[in-house]
Amino acid sequence: MTMETLPKALEVDEKSPEAKDLLPSQTASSLCISSRSESVWTTTPRSNWEIYRKPIVIMSVGGAILLFGVVITCLAYTLKLGEKSLCILKMVGPAFLSLGLMMLVCGLVWVPIIKKKQKQRQKSNFLRSLKSFFLTR
């Protein structure tokens, strides 16, 4: 059965939502445009804040959650509360402690990775410029 012999009921109207799903997507190009990752296409230098913003935010949020977990855990063991609320605080406190510590460590590990990536990028830019210098002669 070819496309020409399909009944009219099976054809998709161009203005229908089904037709919009069938249109070619622009996601690949829009992702490249909106991406904040540094690639070979971007040549503008970025400030330190732009480079280290995400790890700083992750470390700050992780530290705040860790501190919140410490406070809740301390309150659970120092206050005289009912059995049910004491049990809940003893479960929630260490959960916030572990979540905060995990986020803090992720941010701390992310910083040296970014530094290493920056050094590699500087080396590759230097080698690329040397290569273009010698190839143009």
Q: Which domain holds residue 77?
A: 48-135
Q: DSSP assignment, residue 40?
A: T
Q: How far apart are CA 31 and CA 16, in angstroms?
A: 26
39 within a domain of the structure (yes/no)? no
Q: Is the pLDDT of residue 63 over 80?
A: yes
64 within a domain of the structure (yes/no)? yes
Structural contact between residues 92 and 70, judged by C-beta atoms closer than 8 angstroms = no
Give me the pLDDT at residue 48, please.
Answer: 83
- Mean confidence (pLDDT) of the chain: 77
Give me the pLDDT at residue 79, please.
Answer: 86
Interacting residues of 101 by C-beta distance below 8 A, sequence separation 6+:
62, 66
Instruction: Give the number of domains in the chain.
Output: 1
Structural contact between residues 59 and 38, judged by C-beta atoms closer than 8 angstroms = no
Helices 48-78 & 83-135 angle (0-180, nearest 10): 160
Distances (CA, A) of 82 to 14, 87, 121: 64, 9, 58
108 within a domain of the structure (yes/no)? yes
| Backbone dihedral angles phi then psi of residue 20, each to the nearest 5 degrees | -65, -35
Structural contact between residues 108 and 84, judged by C-beta atoms closer than 8 angstroms = no
Give kind and range of the element (H or E) at residue 85: helix 83-135
106 within a domain of the structure (yes/no)? yes
28 within a domain of the structure (yes/no)? no
30 within a domain of the structure (yes/no)? no
Q: Is the pLDDT of residue 2 over 50?
A: yes
97 within a domain of the structure (yes/no)? yes
Q: How far apart are CA 104 and CA 67, in angstroms?
A: 11
Q: How far apart are CA 115 and CA 123, in angstroms?
A: 13
Q: How confident is the model at residue 1 (pLDDT cuts 50, 70, 90)?
A: low
66 within a domain of the structure (yes/no)? yes
